Amino acid sequence: MRTVGVEEELLLVDPASGDPKALAAAVLARAAHEDPGQDVFEKELFGQMLEFATHPQSDMGDLGAEIVRCRKEAAGYAGRFGCAVAALASSPLPVSPSLTVNDRYLWLADRYGVGTRDQLVCGCHVHVSVESDEEGVAVLDRLRPWLPVLAAISANSPFWQGGDTGYASYRTRVWERWPSAGPTELFASPERYHRRVKDMVATGVILDEAMVYFDARLSAHYPTVEVRVSDVCLCAETAVLIATLTRALVETAARDWRAGRPPLDHSVSLLRLAAWQAARSGVEEDLLDPVTMEPRAARDVLWSLLEYAGDALTDTGDAAQAEQGLATLLSRGNGAREQRTLLERTGSLREVVTECVHRTQG
């Protein structure tokens, strides 16, 4: 059974005012002091962000428990400094990002200017194990049209600098400003994949291989495919749903490859439109159907994902949980809908952040 690991980026906020707080360095120092061997929490681009990574898990119940535990530990460390963590993919309140000072981040700030300063956004990356680069590239080629569906499910960034953006996932629109971000063409082989990465680095436009911000890529450090399209999810249950569906899509893609079924040959232009539509409406309106690239009700597209990956979900014992998870999501809404509902009820973005602090820990 394929293992799955999740990386989540959390926003550090004042629990009373909701304002983002640049306290990541202090929080990480506290974590290292209290647990010298910890390898879970890491710095990010800005001081208002804190990242954690789970260990690889094969059981989704274990993965969910670890996500919840990591969120609670992060909240505990942050609480030592009168701070809290919120699983928000963008700050609802105005913020001036504080760059984490190291050589890499200083290079990014100098190279990309305001494009870097806008990147105070929090994502969720899912790593799924693969047997080889050959299998991994075959999976990447076949995942492409399904990635906007995962982005729509996870959408959790409707607000930006104190206002409603009109998007369910504005984070994904901000992320697209990196020159290497977004969907990719078909690679067909590991050699073509690695040559493309090498050629991109050779341009000097990006710093190194770690800056190849494809929507899905081969991990440079682990034998995994890394899917990078999702917002950090407000509820841990949604993060587990994203991980469950991602593993099933990876397994289904690998089976299609072994069976000799070719990938869908959608252009990058169409994939960009599908990603934009997912960011705009989340699961509230139409998405572009991954097979036909024509508008279709989001609910129907989500159920078609379950059908497409159904055998893989059944084989891992995740089919019932995935179906229930999608049904709950469609009824309750994703993080974007929950945030907007909170604003309608309270009339205050500060109250939205405060409530999201509680929901982050369940």
- The whole-number pLDDT of residue 361 equals 83
Q: Which residues contact 287 (CB under 8 A, 6 or more apart)?
A: 148, 149, 152, 274, 277, 278, 281, 295, 296, 297, 298, 301
Confidence of residue 72 (pLDDT cuts 50, 70, 90): very high
- The whole-number pLDDT of residue 181 equals 98
Q: Is residue 94 pLDDT above 90, yes or no?
A: yes
Q: Is residue 6 pLDDT above 80, yes or no?
A: yes
Confidence of residue 36 (pLDDT cuts 50, 70, 90): confident
Confidence of residue 140 (pLDDT cuts 50, 70, 90): very high
In angstroms, the CA 339 to CA 336 distance is 5
Mean pLDDT score, 109-129: 96
**CATH fit for domain 101-360, picks 3.40.50.720, 3.90.550.10, 3.10.20.30, 3.30.590.20:** 3.30.590.20
Q: Is residue 245 pLDDT above 80, yes or no?
A: yes
Q: Is residue 357 pLDDT above 80, yes or no?
A: yes
Cβ(102)–Cβ(28) under 8 Å? no
Q: Is residue 35 pLDDT above 90, yes or no?
A: no
- The whole-number pLDDT of residue 76 equals 96
Q: Is residue 168 pLDDT above 90, yes or no?
A: yes
Confidence of residue 157 (pLDDT cuts 50, 70, 90): very high
Q: Is residue 16 pLDDT above 80, yes or no?
A: yes
Of 92, 89, 74, 87, nearest to 35 by C-alpha is 74
Mean pLDDT score, 191-207: 98
- The whole-number pLDDT of residue 316 equals 97
| pTM assigned to the model | 0.97
Q: Is residue 284 pLDDT above 80, yes or no?
A: yes
312-344 tens-digit pLDDT: 999 999 999 999 999 999 999 999 999 999 999
More confidently predicted of 362 and 134: 134
- The whole-number pLDDT of residue 38 equals 80
Q: Is residue 362 pLDDT above 90, yes or no?
A: no
